Amino acid sequence: MDQFVVSARKYRPTTFEDVVGQHQVVETLTHEINNNKLAQAFLFTGPRGVGKTTCARILAKVINTQDGGDPNQDYAFNIFELDAASNNSVEDIRHLIDQVRIPPQVGKYKVYIIDEVHMLSPQAFNAFLKTLEEPPAYAIFILATTEKYKILPTILSRCQIFNFNRIETKDMVSHLEGIAKKENINAELDALHLIARKADGGLRDALSMFDQMVSFGGGQITYDSAVDILSVLDLDTFFNVSSMLFQSHISDALLAYDAIVKKGFDGSTFLGGLASHFRNLAVSKETKTHSLLDVSDSFRAKYIEQSQQFSFAFVLNGLSLVSEAEEKYKSSRNPRLLVELLLMKLGHLQSFIQNIPSLEEVKKKLSNSEPLKSASFKNAPSIIEEKIKQVVSTVVGNEVIEVTKTAVATKNQEIESIQSKPILKPVKTPIQTKMENVELSGFQAFKRQKELKAKNNINQGQSDVIESVIGIAVTHTPVLIGQSVNPESGLTNNLTDVGISKKSVYQTLDEAYIGFYQTQSPRISTCMKSLNYRMNEGQLVIELSTSVQESIMEEIKPQFMQFLKARLISNPVENIGWEMGEIQVVKRRPYTDKEKLDYLVKKHPTLGEVLELLHLRLP
């Protein structure tokens, strides 16, 4: 009985012409050999099973036979292979360097193939640098790795780098077909496509699965057997599920997914296959993109047929929903519920799309509808044709203010006149009269300021209400205590002539000062609250203690002066000045235990004596 040799070794390429799927690498190496421009060091990088070590062995053999060498000669003594995964120490590299010093006995070159070179230790890399940079003329190094990023940049800069790509499905299928013919194996094309897709660009993996299929089928490879052995979801499954979803057969789709789960497939595998299916459907919509379908001809025809049945909106939105579900699958606490919810959404997707009117239908409806004429609005009855009466009553302390506004607004004509008759009725009590001549305490003054502020806010709110109702602004003009107001007096006429505004006036300097900084930014407001001021022969003098306060006052002086002239009735201010006082230094409060103890000892000397007597100290 002959010993069985796996296909990956039996059909390993021995010449550059037999290499599968690496045309750019083969062509470059062939030109370098023919032109005698070989580099001293090569780095072959790429995924597993794409031909890195194979190309290194072919290169080592070809360069020894190019100058009249015997092609049948065994150049095994000139080719040295080192597995860096198990020989990654400095001693192994030193042993390699010692071998490099010996010239070849047969042939022209000694080739050193170091596989999995990224497994070398940093010390081994550093020991290898000098020899790699300036090797003997007869020595050529070929490094192979699947993880290029782990190699030191100093090594990369000394090598000529060749990137090996993943082998395309069509090249892999063609190679498998050739092997099947040589072995007299009956293999279905769909099964070979499935093997090639499962290998993910690695020919060695594809050949291993090929041998497994041959052993299972007894010299025959069918698509069904490949699906069972390779544990992959059949493409027909996704064709059936997508048809159920398009026809809104949600219950059938849920049962199909349950059968998939019972076969041992994970939900993420189903989502990945469904996403690929929708992607292939989207690609099948256009003839130009049919070449992007990485499937056999029979399944290509099925994709084109089903893509014509589905609307592009269904395919595109379905692909978006499946992609979102894939992102949420790993973090979901109930993955199966997530997939089932996705199937329910996809089942209702087509009916939802059908209920959306098309652009042509919208344009048709707009063209059939009559345009609205402006004349119809002119002849229409007035929507707002009524007498609006707004009465606002305000009670602040013991003072009552009533404002009555009457306005008539119609939509047939513009408003020609607005009759406004504010009636201000001050109410004065004996208690209030006595309190006017009494100097208020700190708390009472603070309370009075709060009342004034609340009064201003209420009046402001009343103005907004009246303005929103009748469309005009209201001026709050306080009446001096004991003064009677006649609607026909000069005060009323003055209000009518001047116009209506929202500005308030103040009776005292304190009220004006507070009213100003309340309208400023927090920085200015905080600064002005902490300052003391006084009147000196018509000049407002403010006491400052820091240069920052002085800069703030210089900044707001013009605005503050204009505010006082416009708002302050009594004691007009002619100028604003300031003077720098003593800087008040706030003592730092004790924080640490030592600071607290020192403070208590200083305040109570007896405590220090007791501590000294008892020999007590802080830890």
Strand order in the sheet with 539-544: 532-536, 539-544, 575-580
CATH code, 212: 1.10.8.60
| Mean pLDDT (10-residue bins), the chain, 619 residues | 76 86 89 86 89 88 71 66 85 87 81 88 87 86 89 88 89 88 86 86 87 84 85 86 91 92 88 91 89 84 90 90 91 91 91 79 72 42 37 38 38 40 42 44 60 59 44 40 39 37 66 86 87 84 85 88 82 82 65 86 87 81
Same structural domain, 247 and 336: yes
Q: Are residues 425 and 296 in the same domain?
A: no
Question: Domain of 547: which CATH number?
Answer: 3.30.300
Reduced to 3 states (helix: H, G, I; strand: E, B; else coil), residue 213 is helix
Listed in sequence order, the DSSP H helices in 90-168 are: 90-100, 122-133, 153-156
CB neighbour burial string for 358-394, b if at least 16 within 10 angstroms, e if fewer: eeeeeeeeeeeeeeeeeeeeeeeeeeeeeeeebebee
Q: Are residues 29 and 152 in the same domain?
A: yes
Tens digits of residue pLDDT in 251-283: 999 999 999 998 888 888 899 999 999 999 999
Q: What is the mean pLDDT of the chain?
A: 76
Which pTM value belongs to this model? 0.53
Cβ–Cβ < 8 Å for 479, 427: no
Q: Residue 315: inside a domain, yes or no? A: yes
Question: What is the residue whose two structure tokens read 């009555």?
Answer: 404
DSSP 568: B
Q: Domain range for residue 81?
A: 22-163
| Residues 33 and 146 occupy one common structural domain | yes
What's 246's domain CATH number? 1.20.272.10
Are 237 and 269 spatial neighbours (Cβ–Cβ below 8 Å)? no
**Do 42 and 109 have their domain in common?**
yes
Nearest-10 crossing angle of helices 509-517, 442-470: 60
151 lies in the same domain as 33: yes
Residues 116, 61: one domain?
Answer: yes
Residue whose C-alpha is closest to residue 122's, from 99, 151, 158: 151
pLDDT for 430 equals 43
In the chain the first and final C-alpha atoms are separated, in Å, by: 89
Residues 220 and 311 in one domain: no
Look up the CATH number of the domain holding residue 59: 3.40.50.300
Rounded distance, CA 346 to CA 256, Å?
Answer: 14
In a domain, 206, yes or no: yes
* Beta-ladder partners of 220: 186
pLDDT at 395: 38
> Is position 4 within any domain?
no
Same domain, 293 and 340: yes
Total domains present in the chain? 5
Has residue 320 been placed in a domain?
yes
Q: Directed axis angle between helix 509-517 and helix 547-567, to 10°?
A: 120
DSSP E strands in 192-264: the ranges are: 220-221
Q: Is residue 607 part of a domain?
A: no
**Residue 358, amino acid:** S
Residue 256 located in a structural domain: yes
Q: What is the pLDDT of residue 322?
A: 92
